A and B are shown apart, each in its own frame.
Chain A
Amino acid sequence: MNTGKGHIELAGIGKSYDDGASFAVQGINLKIPDGSYCCFLGPSGCGKSTILRMIAGHEDPTEGKILIGGENVVGLAPVERRTAMMFQSYALFPHLSVRDNIAFALRVRGLSVKDRNAKADEMIEKVHLGEFANRLPGQLSGGQQQRVALARAAITEPRVLLLDEPLSALDEHLRIQMRAELRRMQKDLGITFIHVTHTQMEAIALSDIVVVMDKGHIRQAGSARDIYSAPRDRYVAEFIGGQNVLSGRISDIDKGTARLGGDTFGQIVVPLPEGHRKSKGEKLDIAIRRDDVDLRPVAAQPDLPPSATSIVGRVQAIEYQGNYVKVQIDAAENDDFVSFMPERKFYEAGLTVGDAVLAVWDIQHTQLLA
């Protein structure tokens, strides 16, 4: 393993069209350590594929630098960058057998038939395609095609492997299976993987680093857990999901906490970090994880611990999910407010649609959004 060789740094890169009139991405700054699995996550058109293609060398940034292993690669051909790309469509050559597809990179480098076939067969074994070596891509299943694409990209021993929506062509079941296989391959090869996806769970399950993008900008980059449990802003919280986002105005500040009032909910208590600069009357967005919200019947007027805060609402919809139950409450006017209640607990509470409930959570579980 060549430590440091696959370290990537994107330094202020941007790509604009028509002399800056419109842009695909702008002001991208990011460091990706060698040997990590990094996912770019965002809706279609957010610029994530453009970044991938710029790292691969299929497009050039209009500003900024791309450093791989400390060297600026802007302007270099893909081969010189020692990156390899796996296409969303896989782009397997339809007229070449699995072996010839995988050996293609060696063929254009001038290796003899014997040498390249030997190397290709080695790689074919690695991805468990031995019996399909002589088949054409058209005769393989989606999962097999994906493995061929992976093997073809990996045979050049790249320091970075770039994957453009690699799982989108597969069905749900296969996707989860191939997800694990991708992670295993990455560990085996010990190189940097950069993976572009619009599926939140895919990014969270695979990555060391998740990069959430929107409209050509990075919204947040960090570990999967950071992104999920501490979204930086409303966009990230809503895009990753699993969060209730509430907007309100600060009505009172008291030491480390503030009171927040919304249009449809009463006063809730929000913790403020030390050295905050919030003032009375300011607008504030907060996020509370849905599995942190507990529901209790209003009638019981329970005695809440001082560390808890609550809002009142009516049960709007109940959706059984197996190990938990998704209960939707009409507490926030424009935003969904949902509690993921553990299955047993839900049936103990015996809630039905229309019931008035108290949604309770620990004040410290509140996440302030930028």
Chain B
Amino acid sequence: MSGAKKTSRKSGTPRGNGRPWTFYALAGFFTLYVIALYGPMFSIYLLSFQDLKGGLVFPMRGFSLHWFEELFMQTRTGDFSGSFRRSIGLAVLVTLFTVVFSFTAGLAFRKRFWGDTAVFYLMIASLVAPGLVLGIGIGIGFNLLGFQTSWYTSALGAQLSWTLPFGILVMFAVMSVFNSDWEEAARDLGATRWQTTRLIVLPILAPGLVAVALFGFTLSYDEFARTLQTAGPLNTLPLEIWSMTLNVTSPALYALGTVSTIVSFFVIGGSLYLITRIRRKRAASTAAGE
């Protein structure tokens, strides 16, 4: 944070050159928060690398990849790789729908239209409704209609009823920097509606859409309450972890957490990379002119 010292005083609160005592107090508080945020996660990553003698608590007993092997072998820990594949597949589907539907809904909510407030509050209601209630409703509904629940039908819909409102809220934030003059200018210059969307709206909103995709993926990948009653006979990863927490008392549980987090980090890293790449590509087109 020493670099910050050189920059000119931008925030109005601290006066003079010295920092107020609150800075140090809050910096300490912030550090504690970050430690509490990350500390526990790192402890299970460590513990997942124990060997056969390993238990659920410190100290580390040995070092091996034993519990990861056990995870993929589908022995007593259950169908890990199957649930893992389903979760990824489901998350990809949810992401696609969330991005496209949030985008169109975001476009709709920029202008007032008859009934927009009703749709908006319906969306908020869907966001805050208890997930298990919806899950049970969908489960019974499918049952009544004689459909089999499965991860790619009922669970997909159940998850969308939660990721979509979330994605739209993110979309609102993204759209708030969008100037509708751009669309009008494109129209003025002779672009069709489709050309305007393809050449102007989508490229400008691209980084925001990646952010929506990140939300869609991670919310789905972690979804539990809505999926519990709707996933059908085959488990997704969170359901698998749920059943493991109830009956598995070995570091395999931690290994599962580690693998799951690695996937998350790939997704987060990939998204951030994509966003910065889009930004840099734009900046790069300028470099030629320097």
Contact = CB atoms under 8 A, between A and B. Distances in A.
A–B touching in complex (CB under 8 Å): yes
A132 B195 CA distance: 26
A174 B234 CA distance: 68
Contacts of B283: 136
A83 B188 CA distance: 8
Contacts of A153: 188-189
A94 B203 CA distance: 10
Interface in B233-290: 282-283, 285-289
Interface stretch (B87-95, B179-187, B219-227): B179-187
Contacts of B190: 78-79, 105, 108-109, 156
B182 A91 contact: yes
B64 interface: no
A89 interface: yes
B199 A58 contact: no
Given A95-B203, A131-B289, A108 B191 contact: yes
A91 B181 contact: yes
B286 A134 contact: yes
A93 B206 CA distance: 14
Interface string B189-231: 1111001000110011000000000000000000000000000
Interface residues of A, number: 32
B205 to A, nearest CB: 10
A205 B182 CA distance: 30
B23 to A, nearest CB: 33
A69 B42 CA distance: 74
Contact of B189 (A132, A133, A156): A156
A84 B189 contact: yes
B189 A136 contact: no
Given A93-B182, A93-B204, A78 B187 contact: yes
A87 interface: yes
B204 A108 contact: no
B286 A58 contact: no
B181 A135 contact: no
Given A78-B190, A84-B188, A91-B179, 12 more contacts: A58-B188, A79-B190, A85-B185, A94-B204, A104-B199, A105-B190, A134-B286, A139-B286, A152-B189, A153-B188, A156-B189, A156-B190
Interface of B: 179, 181-182, 184-192, 195, 199-200, 203-204, 282-283, 285-289
9 contacts: A84-B189, A87-B181, A93-B185, A93-B200, A97-B289, A107-B199, A108-B190, A109-B190, A131-B289
